[in-house]
Structure 1
Amino acid sequence: MTQISVSLGQASSKGRKAVNQDFHGALVPNGRAMSLKGITVALADGISTSDVSHIAAETAVKSLLTDYYATPDSWAAQTAVSTVINATNSWLHAQTAGTPSGEVDRGYVCTLAALILKARQAHLFHVGDSRIWRVSGGSLEPLTVDHQSMGMLSAAMGARQTIEISYKSVPLAQGDVFLLTSDGVHDFWTPAQVVAQIAAGDLQAAADDIVAAAHEADSPDNMTVQIVRIDALPTGPGGINTDDLTLPFPPIPNAGDILDGYEILRALHGNHRSHLYLAKAPDGMKVALKIPGSETRDDPEQLRRFVLEEWIARRLSNPHLLSAPPPLETPRAYLYSVTEYIEGQTLRQWMADNPQPSLEQVRDIIEQTVKGLRSFHRREMLHQDIRPENIMITDDGVVKLIDFGAAYVAGVQEAAPFPAEAGILGTYQYTAPEYFSNEAVSFRSDMFSIGVIAYEMLTGYLPYGTQIARIRTPRDRAALRYRSAQGDARVLAPWMDEALSRAVHADPYKRYETFSDFIKDLRTPSAAYQKRHARPLMERDPLKFWQCLSIALAILSIALAVQLSK
Structure 2
Amino acid sequence: MSEVERSARGRADTKPEEPVLFVQSALAEPVMLETASGRVAVYSRPAPYRDRVNEDSAVLIPLANAGALLVVADGVGGAREGARASRRMVTRLATGFTRAASNVADPAHPSIRSATLDAVEETNRELLERGSGSTTLAIAELRDGQVRPYHVGDSEIWLIGGGGKIRWRTTSHSPTGYAVEAGLLAESEALGHDERHLISNAVGASDMRVEIGSFQPMRPRDTLLVGTDGLFDNLRTREVVEIVRKGPLHVAARSLARAAAERMAAHDETEPGKPDDLTFLLYRRLR
TM-score, length of structure 1 as denominator length:
0.36
Whether the 8 Å contact between 1:21 and 1:46 is mirrored in structure 2 is yes
Q: Which structure has more strand as a fraction of its residues?
A: 2
State the match for 2:212 in structure 1: 167
Alignment of 1:248-259 (within 5 A): none
State the match for 1:45 in structure 2: 74
Q: Hey, what's the Cα distance between the residues in 2 that align with 1:174 and 1:214?
A: 26
Post-superposition offset of 1:24? 1.0
State the match for 2:164 in structure 1: 138
Q: Hey, what's the Cα distance between the residues in 2 that align with 1:21 and 1:178?
A: 23
CA 168–197 in structure 1, closer or farther in 2 if over 3 Å, else same: same
Q: Hey, what's the Cα distance between the residues in 2 that align with 1:16 and 1:142?
A: 31
Percent identity between the aligned chains? 27
Whether the 8 Å contact between 1:13 and 1:211 is mirrored in structure 2 is no
Post-superposition offset of 1:213? 1.0
CA 204–48 in structure 1, closer or farther in 2 if over 3 Å, else same: farther
User: Counterpart of 2:152 in structure 1: which amino acid?
Assistant: V
Match of 1:205 among 240, 247, 251: 251
User: Counterpart of 2:114 in structure 1: which amino acid?
Assistant: T
Match of 2:141 among 108, 112, 116: 116
State the match for 1:367 in structure 2: none
2:94 is the alignment partner of 1:62 = no
Q: Hey, what's the Cα distance between the residues in 1 that align with 2:137 and 2:74?
A: 7
Q: Hey, what's the Cα distance between the residues in 1 that align with 2:90 and 2:146?
A: 21
Post-superposition offset of 1:113? 0.3
SS at match of 1:212: helix
State the match for 1:221 in structure 2: 276
Alignment of 1:25-424 (within 5 A): 25-29=59-63, 33-35=64-66, 38-47=67-76, 49=78, 51-71=80-100, 72-73=103-104, 74-96=109-131, 107-136=132-161, 137-149=163-175, 151=195, 152-160=198-206, 163-169=208-214, 170-218=216-264, 219-232=274-287
Alignment of 1:7-18 (within 5 A): 7-17=39-49, 18=52
Post-superposition offset of 1:156? 0.3
Post-superposition offset of 1:94? 1.4
CA 191–154 in structure 1, closer or farther in 2 if over 3 Å, else same: closer
Whether the 8 Å contact between 1:139 and 1:192 is mirrored in structure 2 is no
User: Counterpart of 1:24 in structure 2: which amino acid?
Assistant: A
State the match for 2:53 in structure 1: 19
SS at match of 2:57: strand
Deviations 1:27-57 (CA, angstroms, capped at 9, x unpaired): 235xxx235xx21110000125453110111
User: Counterpart of 2:170 in structure 1: which amino acid?
Assistant: T
SS at match of 1:15: coil
The gaps in structure 2 that reach 5 residues or longer are 1-34, 177-194, 265-273
Q: Hey, what's the Cα distance between the residues in 1 that align with 2:199 and 2:239?
A: 28
The gaps in structure 1 that reach 5 residues or longer are 97-106, 233-566
Post-superposition offset of 1:65? 2.4
Post-superposition offset of 1:82? 1.1
Q: Hey, what's the Cα distance between the residues in 2 that align with 1:65 and 1:56?
A: 14
Q: Which structure has more helix as a fraction of its residues?
A: 1
SS at match of 1:164: coil
Whether the 8 Å contact between 1:28 and 1:34 is mirrored in structure 2 is no
Post-superposition offset of 1:141? 4.7
Q: Hey, what's the Cα distance between the residues in 2 that align with 1:176 and 1:4?
A: 17
Whether the 8 Å contact between 1:175 and 1:231 is mirrored in structure 2 is no
Q: Hey, what's the Cα distance between the residues in 2 that align with 1:225 and 1:140?
A: 17
User: Counterpart of 1:6 in structure 2: which amino acid?
Assistant: G
Post-superposition offset of 1:110? 0.8
Instruction: Please identify runs of 4+ aligned residues in structure 1 that moved more than 6 A.
Output: none
Deviations 1:226-264 (CA, angstroms, capped at 9, x unpaired): 1011125xxxxxxxxxxxxxxxxxxxxxxxxxxxxxxxx
CA 76–143 in structure 1, closer or farther in 2 if over 3 Å, else same: farther
CA 47–124 in structure 1, closer or farther in 2 if over 3 Å, else same: same
Q: Hey, what's the Cα distance between the residues in 1 that align with 2:58 and 2:120?
A: 15
User: Counterpart of 1:10 in structure 2: which amino acid?
Assistant: V
Post-superposition offset of 1:199? 4.1
CA 64–124 in structure 1, closer or farther in 2 if over 3 Å, else same: same
Whether the 8 Å contact between 2:240 and 2:256 is mirrored in structure 1 is yes
SS at match of 2:117: helix
Taking only aligned residues, the RMSD between alpha carbons, in angstroms, comes to 2.3
Q: Hey, what's the Cα distance between the residues in 2 that align with 1:131 and 1:157?
A: 15
State the match for 1:417 in structure 2: none
CA 149–193 in structure 1, closer or farther in 2 if over 3 Å, else same: closer
- Say which one has the larger Rg: 1
